[in-house]
Amino acid sequence: MDENVAIYLVSDSSIDTAEHVAAIAASRFGTNISQIKKFPYVGDKNQIDEIIIDASNNKNSLIIHTMVVDELKRYLLNKARQYDLRIVDVMGPIMDAIEGTTGIAPTELFFHKRKLDEDYFRKMDAIEFAVKHDDGKDVNGLLLADVVILGVSRTSKTPLCMYLAHKYIKAANFPLVPEVDPPKELFEIDHNKIFGLMINIDNLVEIRKERLKSLGLDSKAVYAAKDRIIKELNYAKEVMERLDCTVIDVTNKAVEETASIILNKINKGGL
């Protein structure tokens, strides 16, 4: 093998089986495996199109799949052939052997029910994770997160993490405060998993003033003072530059918009 290989793991359920098989195989080739991209819970043809196009842009790519839903599986195979991509079906030979032995065809009805159950518990796990690792409660969770959200107070870190949880993403968030050094765990994470939230100074002043009013507090408190906010944002920018993370300007952005940017980067980067 003269060049590195990019492996694409694709499944309409959990990616665990394909990932396990790929890891065992990849361990025999050392540095020849340049990257592994994961695409679990693929549920429609548009997703498959995006995966195929991405794979076709890599000179040497290999698709390993555990697709079970027949229509999607056939579509994936046809698209791979169309783009002259090498593809490996992990589950197919096993299912064919069982069907040939028992004379019983696999039922997609059972598969769909199982997938719904898996989706539900996967979402609950992500929501529980977001709650447990909200606002820097457990820095060890930063190492376990799919993504880590950073930002000063009132940049919608918590709502963003909860939204991502409903998309099956385990998100932790950590507040950036000038008086508190960022935890060492942040520097042990792949910088592609970290997303820093920045916001316009004047917008944040107004947001914090409204927050203080809603709590029955003086809107002129230091928390909403412009000088204080400038200091916090400058500190946040410095930390984000040190981490070399993706920075998103959330000024006037809905949580859904910010989440979409993160999800697109995750999918493209194969995190």
Annotated binding site for ADP: 151-158
Nearest C-alpha neighbor of 76 from the set 65, 92, 60: 65
Q: Which residue positions form the known binding site?
A: 151-158
CA dihedral over 78, 83, 88, 91, signed as positive or negative: negative
CA distance 173 to 28: 37
Per-residue 3-state assignment (H helix, E strand, C coil) for 21-53: HHHHHHCCCHHHEEEEEEECCCCCHHHHHHHHH
